[in-house]
Copies of this chain bind each other. A is one copy, B any other.
């Protein structure tokens, strides 16, 4: 493609509202333009990237037996009412009334629609399993759209839905989809991780998220480098310490700790490690029963985990603390909890502590050398209450956990029968009995992948696209095209030979300043560039440079095609 026949519109500076690097670079490279809050037009150069991602997703879905369909974007409310999600989905759903005042929405996801199709089409076990997918524009009315296409309101999604006679069949397709997703992200040249995930609002049992790893990612992930284990940090299990509780070493004692309420401050004041301090958190259940949660001083409460023990968990108010303990906020501890009518639940690590420091339930006082069993009763419950931390033992026992951040780009669910039961989707088995259909669903944020890839692959000069999703494989820059016949002839010859070899080349024939042309190519992230100029040509040389290379190579013009092909092969 010649730039003169295409549309390139780069900016020197990103608009101020763009916070995230991918958003800045996509605007600067002219990939997207903002139409409104959370609404972006894909400009020619950006659309090439989006289409390349789409093509990989489609090819791999087809290869895994997915069958493509296309459902309407505008969906009648009646279907959503059948599953109760018309009310439950919340304000992210863009509701619409047509000219006859009937209710519709701009589909944020399509479980209801595909289940409606399936209940009209599927009769017999002979038709199962089947896996339908589509690549489609979706809309979710985010309360605060931001970060460009990373969290846009209108976006392109691949959503697949599978149907099965039984759980074994669902699990087989679920595993196949996990493998397919891994192949998709590998082909796209991305560093990613599949992590165990919470099933959230979509419901169902098994669920995994696929994250593109990037420091700017919104999600924290715990993983074990020695094994496949990875989980969203909210979900990763914190095991009990491997070593048993130490023996009591000294008698319990009061110490004065004025104006020292945080565990770290207490540890500093008493010159003890923070791991020796017990953190006591008073929380209330939905029916206003008090619970004291005990954690090691360096650990953070995981409210999702604690919520499994304290229904409707909320932190106690100052008034509630006063009522139960007196005015000793910041100095509460587990001594005498039972007498106060408080249930004590200790995190596994807290339960393993000995000779610990805790609040004395007296203003400006802590206790030291406290021991369960000796100085106070064992906790009534020991549970996993905390977020995992760097170095925790992996739940699979195969090593120590590491932490990283990721951007969710895919999500697979075992929905089981919740939609088929709500909407009456059954199949007849071999005995002629009707049974609810087992379902799975599998999403990929196609447009978000473009932003996530840039978060992971950029440098000070711009984007460094993996070759599969770059808008072009190579760029050809001609210096002084209008002035030098030699440059013109050499550039045209290279363009012809590279194109004939099947390379997707962007020929910068703008005859602009060198700096502008080089900067544009680096900004747009094209993996290899070839620069033709009079100075080099005098010696028969042309410059070739990979996007991630420090400097250009000067090589004979005749060797350019081969070198470009080699650099592309080697590129991620």
Contacts and interface: CB of A to CB of B under 8 A. Distances in A.
Interface of A: 5-7, 9, 33, 35-36, 39-44, 47, 50, 65, 67-76, 91, 94, 96, 98-99, 104, 106, 113, 116-117, 120-121, 130, 132, 137, 139, 141, 143, 153-154
A96 B96 CA distance: 6
Nearest to A141: B99
A47 B69 contact: yes
A120 B132 CA distance: 40
A73 B7 contact: no
Contacts of A36: 72, 75-76, 104
Given A74-B139, A96-B96, A154-B74, A7 B67 contact: yes
B154 A41 contact: no
Contacts of A44: 67-69, 132
27 contacts: A5-B65, A6-B67, A33-B117, A33-B120, A35-B71, A35-B113, A35-B116, A39-B74, A39-B75, A39-B76, A41-B70, A41-B71, A41-B117, A42-B70, A43-B117, A44-B67, A47-B68, A47-B70, A50-B70, A73-B154, A74-B106, A74-B139, A74-B154, A91-B99, A94-B96, A96-B96, A106-B106
Contacts of A99: 91, 141, 143
Contacts of A65: 5
Nearest to A155: B72
Nearest to A127: B7
Nearest to A79: B35
Contacts of A91: 99
Nearest to A30: B121
Contacts of A130: 7
Nearest to A72: B39
A96 B99 CA distance: 11
Given A47-B70, A75-B35, A106 B117 contact: no
B106 A72 contact: no
Nearest to A5: B65
B143 A113 contact: no
Contacts of A143: 99
Contacts of A98: 94, 141, 153
Interface centre among A6, A70, A76 (most CB of B within 10 A): A70
Which 9 A-B pairs rank lowest in CB-CB distance, beginning with the nearest?
A42-B70, A36-B76, A39-B72, A91-B99, A41-B71, A44-B67, A99-B141, A72-B154, A7-B67
A73 B73 contact: yes
A35 B73 contact: no
A69 B96 contact: no
Contacts of A42: 69-71
Contact of A73 (B71, B116, B132, B137): B137
A127 to B, nearest CB: 8
Given A35-B113, A96-B96, 15 more contacts: A5-B65, A7-B67, A33-B120, A36-B72, A36-B75, A39-B75, A40-B72, A41-B113, A47-B68, A72-B154, A74-B139, A96-B106, A99-B141, A106-B106, A137-B137
A100 to B, nearest CB: 9
B76 A35 contact: yes
A118 to B, nearest CB: 11
Contacts of A9: 121
A489 B86 CA distance: 53
B94 A69 contact: no
A70 B75 CA distance: 22
Most buried by B among A9, A33, A35: A35
Nearest to A68: B47
B69 A43 contact: yes
A43 to B, nearest CB: 6
A120 B34 CA distance: 11
A36 B116 CA distance: 11
Contacts of A96: 94, 96, 106
A85 to B, nearest CB: 16
A354 B154 CA distance: 68
A120 to B, nearest CB: 7
A75 to B, nearest CB: 7
Contacts of A94: 74, 96, 98
A482 to B, nearest CB: 14
Contacts of A70: 41-42, 47, 50
A39 to B, nearest CB: 4
A208 to B, nearest CB: 25
* Residue picked from A36, A50, A153, most chain B C-beta under 10 Å: A36
Contacts of A72: 35-36, 39-41, 154
A116 B96 CA distance: 25
